Structure formats: structure tokens, C-alpha cells
């Protein structure tokens, strides 16, 4: 970023790296800088939402997702993150709608399938949750979160032996 302080993509990537380092204030400043340069960059809005969520500012994070979607209604990650934020607020039905929209745009995203499965579980739609978790582990067989989601739904379905097998896969 020092070589080209107006390199908006680099600023967004720097913000995400700062999030990983736990330097949230600096990450938010970087997002603001990127959005000053290109206010219509959906990914910059998504990134700002990630930072705000990590700061515990869930409502503002949701607003950032909504801004990204307003800019690019086909931004799968924005829809995914909207689902996560809505789920965190207990708005499960809306979260499911967001996950379904994200999956319609990118049906290969294992994380979205995993989160969709969790939201379906919250809605007591266990057979659908299992199908979503199965899709997640098919797409990403080494993803422990996907295996854990599958194990939990199997447990809720009283399929205990299969649940234990899935928990074993989650911790491998």
C-alpha cells in the first residue's frame, strides 16, 4: 500500500490481514480508506462488515452487508455474511433466505452449506440440515466445521453411531 496509497484492492486485503492480527481499529480505518477511494466496491463493504462483526457491532456489520448487496445483488459472500449476521441476531428465517441466495450464486461454497445446515437445525428442519451438512462435507472433506455440523444434526436425529463417526472426522 505504501507504493500506491490509492491501491484500493490492496487496502481491502490489508484490512483483512489486520483483522487476523486482531488489530481491529486499524482494519476498520483501512476499510474506510478503501471506501473513500471506491465507495461502490462491494468487497470493501463486505470486509467492513467482517471487521464490525469482530468488534461486536453486529447491527452495523449487517448494514455493511446490505450496502454490499445494494451495490452487487449477486455477491455471494455478501449474502453469506448477511445470513451469519442475521443468525447471530436470532433472525433465523431471514438468515436461511440469505444463505439460500448465497448458495444460488455459489453452490460450491462449503462454509455457506455448513452455516445453512446450522440455521436449518435451529428451525428444526433436521432432514434438510443433514442434506446441507452432507453437501458441505462432500465439497470440503477436511473441513472440521462441516463434519461437526453433520455430527450435531445426526445426534439430533438420534443417529448416535453415525454422529460419533462424524465427530471423529471433525477432530481428525
Contact 108, 117 (CB under 8 A): no
DSSP structural state of residue 74? T
Q: What is the pLDDT along the chain (172 residues), one digit of tens a residue?
A: 444 555 888 999 999 999 999 999 999 999 999 999 999 999 999 999 999 999 999 999 999 999 999 999 999 999 999 999 999 999 999 999 999 999 999 999 999 999 999 999 999 999 999 999 999 999 999 999 999 999 999 999 999 999 999 999 999 8
Reading phi first (left if > 0) and then psi (alpha if -120 to 50, else beta), residue 23 is in: beta
* pTM, rounded to two decimals: 0.90
The answer to whether 136 touches 149, Cβ cutoff 8 Å, is: yes
* DSSP three-state, residue 125: coil
Amino acid at each position: 500500500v505504501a507504493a500506491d496509497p490509492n491501491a484500493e484492492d490492496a487496502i481491502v486485503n490489508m484490512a483483512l490481514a489486520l483483522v487476523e492480527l486482531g488489530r481491529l481499529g486499524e482494519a476498520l480505518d483501512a476499510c474506510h480508506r478503501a471506501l473513500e477511494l471506491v465507495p461502490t466496491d462491494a468487497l470493501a463493504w463486505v470486509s467492513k462488515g467482517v471487521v464490525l462483526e469482530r468488534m461486536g457491532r453486529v447491527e452495523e456489520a449487517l448494514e455493511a452487508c446490505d450496502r454490499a448487496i445494494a451495490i452487487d445483488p449477486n455477491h455471494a459472500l455478501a449474502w453469506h455474511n448477511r445470513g451469519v449476521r442475521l443468525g447471530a441476531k436470532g433472525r433465523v428465517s431471514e438468515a436461511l433466505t440469505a444463505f439460500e441466495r448465497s448458495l444460488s450464486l455459489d453452490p460450491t461454497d462449503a462454509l455457506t452449506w455448513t452455516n445453512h445446515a446450522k440455521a436449518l437445525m435451529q428451525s428444526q428442519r433436521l432432514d434438510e440440515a443433514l442434506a446441507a451438512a452432507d453437501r458441505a462435507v462432500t465439497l470440503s472433506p477436511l473441513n472440521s466445521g462441516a463434519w461437526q455440523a453433520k455430527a450435531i444434526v445426526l445426534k439430533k436425529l438420534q443417529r448416535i453411531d453415525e454422529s460419533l463417526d462424524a465427530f471423529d472426522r471433525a477432530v481428525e
